[in-house]
A and B are shown apart, each in its own frame.
Chain A
Amino acid sequence: MAIKEYLIKRILALIPLGLGVTFLVFAAMNFVPGDPVRIFLGIEGTEELAQQIRQDLGLDRPFFVRYFSWLGQLLQGDLGYSLLTGIPVSQEIARRFMVTMQLALGGVLFSVVLALPLGIASAVRQNRSSDFVIRIFALIGVSLPNFAVAVLLILFFSLVFNWHPPIGFVHLWHEPLIALQILILPVIALGTSMAGSVSRMTRSAMLEVLRQDYIRTARSKGLPGRLVIYRHALKNALIPVLTLVGLQLGYLLGGAVIIEQIFSLPGLGRLLLTGIHNRDYPVVMGCVLTIAVFFALVNMVVDILYTFIDPRIKYQ
């Protein structure tokens, strides 16, 4: 099966990707100023004590020795321990990954549900008043950075309604109502700019397709407007939109770093940021590797989805 071979090739390609990413990040963490032991101790503790802790943690070993020992552990499926708390990194990532996923998928869902109909409407009613309104909103959405949206939302809801999302994260499958209340503002903040670009992409892809001959044929043989748009036009306009959504999901993970910080969500992004502040390199490495692999996998899934949307696409 061609698709199987293709998949294997893609998965194998993850190995150099992982090596490159981890080496770059490890080097960066090593060469930026700042010493995890000193950050931990602050002004307490003598230099002897700091030296002793460095030795215990193996931080006194040369750069390459540390990198390859980290890599060796990784091959055994071990991401190591946080320098600061001693908690296994894999355990911490597993716990936080689901939080970030709920946030990122929520953002995708929000933006697609909002932007797809708007993009279609905008294309179908090209140059009419609703098209202009949608395009202006899409432009605002694309232009506003997500942290600005986040702060505006918090201010708006707390000043106007005296409402703030509940604090203390719960999973969607434990307490759906509270989880929704916790997630709704971060999801909107995260999804807004993606909604803007998805709606713009949908509009232009739809406009392209709507000009095609087969649409004219469909209309002239008397098919109802709705059917033409959804069955004939939308399906063909989806490929660029899907590509965009796949790419954007990666950016959403990046955006989650800031959004989790603002909304106090215990996600992967927050873990990454704290790890960087503390120069806690096993934590940083684990987070970056997880995000990179996830990003690559999502794009692989998107590539495979193409074949379902357009049977003409085949992988050899």
Chain B
Amino acid sequence: MFSMKSLVRSTGIFIAMLMLLMTMGVEAQADENVLVVAKGTEAEGFDPHTVPAHSSIQIYNRVYDALLGISPEGDIQPELAKDWEIIDDTTYRFELREGVKFHNGREMTSADVKYSFERMVDPDLGSLAKTYFEMVEKVETPDDYTVIFHLEEPFADFLINVAHTYAKIVPQEVVEEEGDLMDVAVGTGAFKLTEWVPDNYTLLEANEDYYIEGLPRVDALRFLIMEDESAQIAAVRTGQVHITDLSPEGAQILRGRPGLEVVEYPSFDYTYWAFNVTEEPFDDPLVRKAMSYAIDREVIADIAFDGFADITGPVPPSQELWAVDISEYPSYQHNPDRARELLAEAGYGDGLEISITASPAYAYMVDTAVVIQEQLRGIGVDAEIDMVEWGAYIDAWINRDHMSMVGLNGGGLTPERALYFFFHTTGGANVWGFSDPEFDDLVERGRVEVDPDARYEIYAEAQKLLVNELAPNLFLNSPYSFYVIAEGVEGFEPTSYKSEGFFKHVTIDN
């Protein structure tokens, strides 16, 4: 009894049982026409008018439609409105599709459009879309299928905002029955929210009454929550998941694997090194400009993103229509001598001690801060990295409780967001204490200029002014985004403008 032999034997039996269990047939949903997508973060609720989290947008974007949509090339296209007309600078007329039904079976009409836009600007709701439509004076509904918007003043991005993710059309009776739209979702979209089991999965079934014949082409979408990237990679390799997004490192691992396709596209996001411009030493534009000459954006891209990132100004190059070429920015040259001169001119010739706040929540943030620290050493600037937890990081960001910080901004479809939202004196995300009357004047003109060419000129001037003279932030890299797609899945084609592709066009060939 209890001999070495019996020990070895029972270990053997245990391992054999384990392997038997592994091989016992659980086929990964292979026989169903269900698209399985890995999702890194759980949704925070599904109200399109109040929840900004990307994890929530991933779901409610499938369930709700807006009046207009954005094509993969960035053009405005019909969604619930089949046609639209700009009557004058402040009057827009939309003609709705007829016979579109909400998932509860009721027909969607102009009354729902009016209700949804009124809900978005209702001060009691606290909607993020409020600032997008504050200029709307009134919404008229002459008949069931016509909606007319009257604006108080011209607003160049009005149609873009109407196509925004937040600007979904919701049914009034559901809001009234449920109180809010956090854990229900009744839209007109290609998919219906069928089941939500937090931290486990979200199931969306095809909407059989969808207003475009023949879509969607799968029976259901199943989002599985997997936070760990190694779990996501293992799941896609073993065929349990059809699509997942990836980090650059993950993409490198999976590139060229048989049965998998890695796709990439430039994103609208960019990383920055931002300064608290209300305190020494970064209240001096000379010091900020010196920093720009001291760092090498190419090296940061290589280390933080494995080279999969473009060098960017305030408007990322992926926004081809609006971005100024980086050759227009002299301080993008890596030139430590010039940096030292500028520092000396600013009175810091004997060296300088600074701190950079970053959060380990994102690897690229840490990498960016570390590379900057290293490069500053070359010009006699001693940088200390202040690593803080994500909640504390947001606190430091919002309360300007830092000397400088690295971070990521998400871009919009036009420079309105990149320039006004982040840098206008009253911009919603101008947390740097930055204020410049000349710049303010430019972006105020830009937001009401409806002629695209004239608008481009204004925004180009604003970009150059921001980078070459004022430098409230140093704009660094605009990273690529990556997806891996299993063989047999067709029609999922993400672009910068449509980063999640079109789930309704996807087919699975098992």
Contact = CB atoms under 8 A, between A and B. Distances in A.
Interface of A: 32-35, 38-47, 49, 52-53, 56, 84-87, 92, 95-96, 118, 120-121, 124-125, 129-130, 133-134, 151, 154-155, 157-158, 161-164, 166-169, 177-178, 180-181, 184, 225-226, 261-264, 266, 270-271, 274, 277-279
B418 interface: no
A53 to B, nearest CB: 5
Contacts of B38: 167
Contacts of A277: 390-391
30 contacts: A32-B391, A33-B388, A33-B391, A33-B392, A33-B395, A34-B390, A34-B391, A34-B392, A34-B394, A49-B130, A56-B126, A84-B44, A85-B183, A85-B198, A95-B198, A125-B2, A130-B4, A130-B7, A133-B4, A154-B231, A158-B238, A162-B237, A164-B231, A167-B224, A168-B201, A177-B26, A263-B231, A264-B225, A270-B199, A274-B42
A46 B428 contact: yes
Contacts of A261: 227-228
Contact of B45 (A39, A52, A85, A155): A85
Nearest to B389: A34
B174 interface: no
Contact of B230 (A85, A154, A161, A184): A154
B26 A39 contact: no
Interface in B1-59: 1-4, 7, 18-19, 21-22, 24, 26, 28, 38, 42, 44-45, 52-53
Interface string B416-444: 00000000000011000000000000000
Given A39-B391, A86-B183, A158-B234, A225 B21 contact: no
Given A42-B52, A45-B52, A162-B238, A168 B183 contact: no
A168 B234 contact: no
Most buried by A among B183, B222, B231, B388: B231
Contacts of A44: 52, 128, 428-429
A271 B225 CA distance: 13
A178 B29 CA distance: 13
A155 B1 CA distance: 35
Most buried by A among B2, B428, B429: B2
Nearest 7 A-B pairs (CB), nearest first?
A34-B391, A121-B2, A266-B199, A33-B392, A164-B234, A44-B52, A266-B200
A184 B182 contact: no
Interface string B222-249: 1011111011001101101100000000
B411 to A, nearest CB: 12
Contacts of A124: 1-2
B409 interface: yes
Contacts of B98: none
B169 to A, nearest CB: 20
A42 B1 CA distance: 64
Interface string B195-233: 001111100000000000000000000101111101100
B76 interface: no
B201 A49 contact: no
B205 to A, nearest CB: 16
Contacts of A164: 231, 234-235, 237-238, 240
B395 to A, nearest CB: 5
B303 interface: no
Given A39-B390, A163-B238, A266-B199, 16 more contacts: A33-B391, A35-B391, A38-B398, A42-B52, A84-B45, A85-B45, A129-B4, A130-B2, A154-B231, A155-B230, A157-B22, A158-B234, A161-B22, A168-B200, A180-B21, A271-B199
A177 B24 contact: yes
Contacts of A125: 2-3
Contacts of A85: 44-45, 182-183, 198
B180 interface: yes
A86 B180 contact: yes
A275 to B, nearest CB: 11
Given A46-B428, A130-B2, A181 B21 contact: yes
Interface in B102-160: 123, 126, 128, 130-131
Contact of A266 (B2, B225, B390): B225
Interface in B382-409: 388-392, 394-398, 409
B421 to A, nearest CB: 9
A54 to B, nearest CB: 10
A56 B228 CA distance: 34
A177 to B, nearest CB: 6
A225 B126 CA distance: 76
Contacts of A151: 230
A165 to B, nearest CB: 9
Contacts of A161: 19, 22
A221 to B, nearest CB: 20
A154 B230 CA distance: 9
Nearest to B180: A86
A9 B139 CA distance: 67
A85 B428 CA distance: 24
Contact of B26 (A34, A35, A49, A181): A181
B429 A184 contact: no
B475 to A, nearest CB: 15
